[in-house]
Structure 1
Amino acid sequence: MAFTVVVGLGKSGIGAARLMHNQGQSVAVIEQEDGPEHRLCANQLQKQGIQVELGCPLEISSFVPWRNSLSAVVVGPGIPWDHPTLTALRRGGIQVRGEIDLAWSALNTIPWVGITGTNGKTTVTHLLSHILQRAGIKAPMGGNMGVSAAEIALEITTERKSKPDWLIMELSSYQIESAPTLAPQIGIWTNLTPDHLERHRTLEAYGSIKRGLLERSGLAIFNGDDPYLRSYRKFPGSGLWISSEEPHSELDPVDFWIDAEGTVHMRDIGAMFTADVLAMPGVHNRQNLLLATAAAIKIGLNPAEIALGLKSFPGLPHRLEQLGLLATASVFNDSKATNYDAASVGLKAISGPVVVLAGGQIKRGDAGCWLAQLKSKACSVILYGAGAGELEVLIRYSGYIGDLHRCSDLNEAVPISVQATINHNAASLLLSPACASLDQYKDFEARGNHFRRLIQPYLLAS
């Protein structure tokens, strides 16, 4: 009997195990942890007939129970594709697959939109799904956020969910790397800035993974405002380009853009609607609007339908989420800004002077743009968490002359930021960490929710 072993009891691993079990495959799950929550999860899977072994790290010895029947190993995106154990398994003739690869095999008769990029991909995914469903097209979303792709496949193949018209999938570099045959009907690339270099090592390696998805896509849509992506202007195939600015000439290969008066244009149609139908601040959100609009047009919607979808979009938590007013300042939760580039984009989008809360687990990357924005717009910066000391040195040596405070955590930092907002008569108070959250939180959502709870007593009643 051929066995497939799934590594990890995360969302992706559980979805993959349940999908393969439902397909009649022999499957087991190994998990290195053995806590109460893992035992509960293991018990639920075992009741469904899926074998689970806890306390099993990703080592060759953990696969010994299946040494005579192991045919494949499935991993979630959290496990490096070049992990030494996975390399050893491949050398031994064992197929190694990603969870997203399983889902693609099960769902490739349905057209996919695959959305990738360092920043903005979650917003574009939600925005496009909302626009399509508002127009009556069944277009659920999943992948790198929300429901795992394998779980969506299970719901559709067991007819617990009707077959959709399109699947709108957010795809991380980790997922793309583990699914070399994944070929969406439409691929969207939002941008590329240094991130995840602790895993991919170089920007070139990171970019080549994302480029592979676009090369396999039936139609590729690019953000022409991104300096890195502009180098792909001679991209093979029928790519579309968007820009938040008007084309400089007829030779400029921009297909969708926004003119100086704020009107959205398509080269083949002309003026369509005004960009202010989307109530989200910042140039980056205009780019997100254009990327979603380009895909929606190609799927078959008309400009009026797209405008209605954009107008009714409620926005996303933790992404420049406006929480209310503190004195004269608008308070924003941008906990999703987990790297310097994302934090820089958020700072650009809001009014200054700004009181900034930043800190957490430092990521590799170029902090130049972020530091320039701090010097330009921040009147006070409050640092917290594991990276506070390193950020303090970085900011001081950049020539920043505003107030700079260092704290242990948000519990200490929020009252200081409130007082700074009042003292400086700031226009905005912004949680924009520029760091990962894992030093003190399980994810950026938990960090943003904690900030929301801490700041709520200081906000003016609406």
Structure 2
Amino acid sequence: MSHKLIILGAGESGIGAALLGKKQGYDVFVSDGGTIKDNYKQELAVNQISFEEGHHSWDKVLGADEIVKSPGIPEKSDLMKKVREAGVPVISEIELAYRFSTGKKIIAITGSNGKSTTTALTYHIFKNAGLDVAMVGNIGVSWARQVATEPAEYYVIEISSFQLDDIKTFKPNVAILLNITPDHLDRYDYKMENYVASKFRIAMNQTAEDAFVYCMDDPEIMQHLAKQPIYSASIPFTIMKPLKEGGFVDKDQLHIDVNGEPVIMSMYDLSLKGKHNLYNSMAAAIAARTMDIRKEKIRESLTSFESLEHRMEYVATVKGVDFINDSKATNVNSVWFALESFEKPIVLIMGGIDKGNDYSAIRDLVKEKVKAIICMGVDNTPIINALSKDTPVMISTASMHDAVTEAFNQATKGDIVLLSPACASFDLFKNYEDRGRKFKEEVKGL
């Protein structure tokens, strides 16, 4: 009998899992409660994979030998309750891809903020070192798709806590945990410790020959480590004090001390600016050293890396005002990182769909650095209520055109106009990419 694999959810990870399952000879069926995008439907048809959309056929779903669940489906949904009652084994797409990646080197990166940047930077170092490497996961293509269509020797994976919730045997050679701040708590019964435990699953199958790379300056990480030991080789990074092994900053020099041969460079030579990027750069460099990439290559890559689109992306300078697109900042913590990166006065454009944000975390930085906040959204009251006392100017707008025009009016030569919304974008835009692109168009039109 062939192995019946049911894929729940037909986004990028679901389609990747379907392609890989089919390639491995499984009997694959894809079921999505919503609508499936046309390009994905075409792919399924071309590969002769049957699917349904708009509903789930229970007999089929519950008759599976195994289910691959999309990271977007919460455990509390009726669908998952039925699946768990029926006792059908559930795995994530990450687990499926891992099953068919024996002998490959895997660097997995998780954390509440900075995942995409660190993943892209790590990939950049490996690529520059001439390795056969692919960048997969939450950034770009799903890992399962890559394994099915174009397997590589090294995988650099950006991985979310939702994807870690359904792993069984997944074991990265290097696991990186950048930081843990409250995000997505609705999925973890509003208990921070559940979310923390979920992030730590990245190391749960690791053994002594694997590496666990973590930020020593993160209180949540340190608390958890004190309670629950890790079995892999732990390599910390910090900006607080020198270390014997790991990554640290001392007298404006970045030090990476792993596997002999220390990598030392001036932090001013890093292409990524800001305190949070010191952490991201150290994590990526440590991953490279664990794989014995030469220090010259690491230094060269950390200097030449171009940051990601929509993540602290420089757009243009108009009449002495710098415009920065940080549309990917969809939570308050990301905005804190952005504000912390700049020394010049800031005109901040923020707003969108507020997921119950607590703006108190950025109040001090707003007082210190922000000369005006331009709200952009259908409902700007939460931001106005939370921050109007902390900045001299607060203006409400309901379109990107008006937001950019108002911001430019408020800015003078030497200022920065920063789009760092702290919110989801669905009230006015398709997604954060669409929001970032509209921002760039408006800036170019000034």
Q: TM-score, normalising length from structure 2?
A: 0.92
Alpha-carbon contact 1:198-1:364 (below 8 Å) kept: no
- The offset of 1:405, in angstroms, is 0.9
Q: Can you list the C-alpha shifts for 1:377-399, whole angstroms capped at 9, x where unaligned?
A: 00000111145211111113xx3
- Partner of 2:429 in structure 1? 441
Alpha-carbon contact 1:27-1:50 (below 8 Å) kept: yes
Distance 1:385 1:81 in 2: 31
1:155-194 matches, cutoff 5 A: 155=149, 161=150, 163-194=151-182
Aligned match for 2:146, one of 145, 152, 163: 152
- Partner of 1:51 in structure 2? 50
Aligned match for 1:255, one of 246, 262, 266: 246
- Partner of 1:331 in structure 2? 323
- Give the residue type in structure 1 aligned to 2:27: S
Q: Can you list the C-alpha shifts for 1:28-55, whole angstroms capped at 9, x where unaligned?
A: 1122334xx7456324412321112122
Gaps of 5+ in 1: 156-160
Q: Can you list the C-alpha shifts for 1:57-107, whole angstroms capped at 9, x where unaligned?
A: 5xxxx223566x432222211111343321221221322221111111111
Aligned partner of residue 100 in structure 2, secondary structure: helix
Distance 1:269 1:72 in 2: 46
- The offset of 1:266, in angstroms, is 2.4
Alpha-carbon contact 2:256-2:285 (below 8 Å) kept: no
Q: TM-score, normalising length from structure 1?
A: 0.89
- The offset of 1:254, in angstroms, is 6.0
- Partner of 1:213 in structure 2? 202
- Partner of 1:243 in structure 2? 238
Alpha-carbon contact 1:337-1:343 (below 8 Å) kept: yes
Distance 2:10 2:204 in 1: 32
Q: 1:313 to 1:401 in 2, by over 3 A?
A: closer
Aligned partner of residue 324 in structure 1, secondary structure: strand
Alpha-carbon contact 2:359-2:387 (below 8 Å) kept: no
- Give the residue type in structure 1 aligned to 2:40: C
Alpha-carbon contact 1:195-1:365 (below 8 Å) kept: no
Aligned partner of residue 330 in structure 1, secondary structure: strand
Q: Can you list the C-alpha shifts for 1:166-204, whole angstroms capped at 9, x where unaligned?
A: 211010011111213221111001111111112222221
- Give the residue type in structure 2 aligned to 1:415: T
Q: 1:313 to 1:121 in 2, by over 3 A?
A: same
Establish whether residue 313 from structure 1 lines up as the match of residue 305 from structure 2.
Answer: yes
Alpha-carbon contact 1:15-1:151 (below 8 Å) kept: yes
Report how many residues are paired: 437
Q: 1:219 to 1:375 in 2, by over 3 A?
A: same
- Partner of 2:32 in structure 1? 31
- Give the residue type in structure 2 aligned to 1:216: N
Aligned partner of residue 150 in structure 1, secondary structure: helix
Distance 2:307 2:37 in 1: 33
- The offset of 1:264, in angstroms, is 2.7
Aligned match for 1:450, one of 430, 438, 441: 438
Establish whether residue 122 from structure 1 lines up as the match of residue 122 from structure 2.
Answer: no
Establish whether residue 76 from structure 1 lines up as the match of residue 70 from structure 2.
Answer: yes
Alpha-carbon contact 1:358-1:381 (below 8 Å) kept: yes
Aligned partner of residue 201 in structure 2, secondary structure: helix
Alpha-carbon contact 1:335-1:444 (below 8 Å) kept: yes
Aligned partner of residue 347 in structure 2, secondary structure: strand
Q: Can you list the C-alpha shifts for 1:354-403, whole angstroms capped at 9, x where unaligned?
A: 0000011213454322122111100000111145211111113xx31410
Distance 1:181 1:81 in 2: 20
Q: 1:8 to 1:233 in 2, by over 3 A?
A: closer
1:25-424 matches, cutoff 5 A: 25-34=26-35, 38=37, 41-56=40-55, 62-65=57-60, 69-155=63-149, 161=150, 163-200=151-188, 201-217=190-206, 218-232=210-224, 234=226, 235-237=229-231, 238-247=233-242, 255-266=246-257, 269-270=261-262, 272-396=264-388, 399-422=389-412
Q: Can you list the C-alpha shifts for 1:410-429, whole angstroms capped at 9, x where unaligned?
A: 2321111111113xx45211
Aligned partner of residue 187 in structure 1, secondary structure: strand
- Give the residue type in structure 2 aligned to 1:18: L
Task: State the percentage of identical aligned residues.
Answer: 28
- Give the residue type in structure 2 aligned to 1:54: E
Distance 2:390 2:414 in 1: 17
Aligned partner of residue 113 in structure 2, secondary structure: coil
Alpha-carbon contact 1:118-1:192 (below 8 Å) kept: yes
- Give the residue type in structure 2 aligned to 1:113: I
Distance 1:78 1:271 in 2: 40
Aligned partner of residue 361 in structure 1, secondary structure: coil
Q: 1:278 to 1:55 in 2, by over 3 A?
A: same
Aligned partner of residue 140 in structure 1, secondary structure: strand
Between stretches 427-436 and 2-11, larger displacement belongs to 2-11
Q: 1:63 to 1:331 in 2, by over 3 A?
A: same
- Partner of 1:158 in structure 2? none
Distance 1:356 1:215 in 2: 41
Gaps of 5+ in 2: none
- Give the residue type in structure 2 aligned to 1:377: K
